[in-house]
Structures are given as structure tokens and as C-alpha cells.
Amino acid sequence: MPANRKKVSKEKGVVEPQSDPPEETRYQIAPGLLERTGRSAVLMALYCRCPRCWAELASEPEMRASITFEEHRERIVECCSLRDDYIMPNMPLLEAVFRIILAKNEPVGLQEVHRSLMERWASRDLPRSVSEETLHRILRRDAFYGIQEIVPERPSLAANG
Ligand SMILES: [Zn+2]
């Protein structure tokens, strides 16, 4: 059985002269961006909680009012996002992306967002397809969902000479 000799060239400091793969754009939900447009990050996260969580929250309205965005997100990571109905095919694309990013504790790469989207948002009954490039363009324009693009820092290639 031939060994998998695929070279990993991701070490820091290794500069590859030829074309590098498309730089990994990553995304995170920025509560500050949401608040700036008058939207509540806490409420948006609350609406992503699953029916079981809502049942718990309904029994403790006071507790519900004091839950932070990060606390919601922790529960979404551990509970709500694991359910099949967390992302439904009939959701708008950006809402699905919002939920995908929200369900991670760290910024999510464009490829991973795209893969999750195709796995969970597209369905047999409602087949949909969006290319990574299109997705990238759409996300760049988003202001509504507080999706923030993190552009990777690159060593200044042009500054050589
Ligand atoms: Zn839940």
C-alpha cells in the first residue's frame, strides 16, 4: 500500500515561491457589528436555540434575560447546532451561514463554511448550489448578520527590494 506522501507545507516561515492556494479567508460573528446596526446579538443568538432549550428558558424568564451572547453560543455549540433542524433548507442563505459560524468557537474558514452549507442547507428536495467564490462575495457584503471577514495577515511580498 503506497504511503500517503502528501507534503504539508503549512509551517510558518516557509515561503513558497509559486502560486499558493487561495488564502484562507475566515469568518466570525462580530456582536459589535450587529449592535452598530441596531440589532441585538443576544436576541439573534437566542433565536438559534433549539426547542428543547426554549422550553428550559421559558421556565426561567429571569435567567433568560441575563444570558450573554457568548453563553448562548456555548449552548448552541454543545446542544442546538447538533440537531438536524438547526439549519433548514428553507432558510435564507445568510441565516444558514450565520448559524454555521455561530456554532463554532473560533473563526471558520470559507471552505468549511461552504462545505457545511452544502451538507446542511442544500437538500434532496431543494437542491441548491453556490460556489465558494459566490459565497465569498455574498459574505463580504453582509451587514445584516454581523458576519465579519478576517483577512489573513500576509508577509509583505511586494516589499522585497
Ligand atoms: Zn439547544
* Structure confidence by residue, pLDDT tens digits, 43-72: 999 999 999 999 999 888 888 889 999 999
Closest to 49 measured CA to CA, from 70, 67, 75: 75
pLDDT (tens place) for every residue of the chain, 161 residues total: 444 444 444 445 555 445 444 568 999 999 999 999 899 999 999 999 999 999 999 888 888 889 999 999 999 999 999 999 999 988 999 999 999 999 998 999 999 999 999 999 987 777 788 999 999 999 998 878 999 998 777 666 655 54
Whole-number pLDDT of residue 94: 94
The model's pTM: 0.79
Distance CA 147, CA 78 (A): 21
Q: Using the mean position of ligand 1's atoms as its centre, give its distance from the Cα of residue 55 in Å.
A: 9
Q: Using the mean position of ligand 1's atoms as its centre, give its distance from the Cα of residue 43 in Å.
A: 15
In the chain, % helix, strand, coil (3-state, to 5) comes to 45, 5, 50
Whole-number pLDDT of residue 152: 72
Residue 107 phi, psi (nearest 5): -55, 145
Beta strands in the chain (DSSP E): 26-29, 108-109, 147-150
Q: Using the mean position of ligand 1's atoms as its centre, give its distance from the Cα of residue 71 in Å.
A: 12
Beta carbons of 133 and 111 less than 8 angstroms apart: no
Q: Using the mean position of ligand 1's atoms as its centre, give its distance from the Cα of residue 46 in Å.
A: 10
Q: Using the mean position of ligand 1's atoms as its centre, give its distance from the Cα of residue 83 in Å.
A: 8
Whole-number pLDDT of residue 156: 62
Q: Is 1 exposed, middle or buried (0-12, 13-18, 19+ CB in 10 A)?
A: exposed
Q: Using the mean position of ligand 1's atoms as its centre, give its distance from the Cα of residue 102 in Å.
A: 13
Q: Using the mean position of ligand 1's atoms as its centre, give its distance from the Cα of residue 124 in Å.
A: 25
